[in-house]
Amino acid sequence: MHSTTRAGSTDLTARARIRDAAVRRFAMDGMSAPLRAVAADAGVSAGLILHHFGSRTGLREACDEHVLAQIRQDKASVLGTPGNTGALLAQLARIEGYAPFVGYVLRCLQAGGAVSAQFIDHIVADAVGYLHDAEEAGTVRPSRYPEARARVLAEQSLGALLLQLPAQQDHLDLDELPVWLAAYSERIIPPLLEMYTEPLLTDSTLLDSYLAARPAGAPAGASGPAAATDGSRAD
């Protein structure tokens, strides 16, 4: 029993090491980076990658899951508790450690196609969840259109990141990326927090007028091909 437990622990450690190496390698060289490079980074054979993940697709899915979990955890820690400024400051202090995750997200967006669209859908679904939890905690205002709001916020965030495109080059230097991240964060966080906490518009006239003019039966907060069945709260 003891040897079986140790073997299982070793397998989990090897799997995590391969996954972390893949996140970094895909961030540096793109989603088409060869598995032999990932294996070399992790100090294992390419065969062991296939043993643990079955295929490149399986490895990519594990990387997606890991990166999405980190994003979800960080967002929830900032929004989940009223007055929790410490979580945001702590994340800014650890910005160097986020380079592989940011690089990975950039490469996912660059890759395009169905896999990239699915990754974005997962980000939106996670955002719906942690924004709902933040509403329950009293740190975020409820929305008429929770799913549509989550998608807009995610698309704006990802689009702004992609526009900067520090990953335009074939190889992304993860040692230099934290410097870029620090400068980027310093530029966008103050105006974003201002807009989120002190709304840009001084009253609700535009929203009230728009809602009053909408055709009867129009889907609330419509977004994407599934808009007609959007289950968001209507007025």
pLDDT confidence of 167, banded at 50, 70, 90?
Answer: low
The average pLDDT across 207-228 equals: 69
Tell me the torsion sign for CA atoms 229, 230, 232, 234: negative
Mind listing the pLDDT tens digit for each residue in 63-81? 999 999 999 998 888 887 7
> Can you tell me the distance from the alpha carbon of 231 to that of 69, in angstroms, rounded to the nearest whole number?
25
- Considering only residues 233 and 40, tell me which one the structure prediction assigns the higher pLDDT: 40
- Contacts (Cβ under 8 Å, ≥6 apart) of 167: 27, 30, 103, 106, 107, 110
- Considering only residues 88 and 137, tell me which one the structure prediction assigns the higher pLDDT: 137
Mind listing the pLDDT tens digit for each residue in 30-68? 999 999 999 999 999 999 999 999 999 999 999 999 999
> Can you tell me the distance from the alpha carbon of 89 to that of 101, in angstroms, rounded to the nearest whole number?
18
How buried is 201 (Cβ within 10 angstroms: 0-12 exposed, 13-18 middle, 19+ buried)? Answer: exposed
pLDDT confidence of 1, banded at 50, 70, 90?
Answer: very low
Answer whether 77's CB lies under 8 Å from 37's CB.
Answer: no
Query: How far is residue 218 from each of residues 1, 46, 147, 209, 222, measured CA to CA in Å?
Result: 61, 53, 16, 15, 8
Yes or no: domain 60-208 corresponds to CATH 1.25.40.80: no
What is the 8-class DSSP label of residue 228? G
Length of the chain: 235
Alpha-helix residue ranges (DSSP H) falling in 30-79: 35-42, 46-53, 56-79
Would you kindly state where each structural domain of the chain is located, as residue ranges?
A: 60-208
- State yes or no: pLDDT of 27 exceeds 80: yes
The average pLDDT across 122-147 equals: 94
pTM of the predicted protein model: 0.81
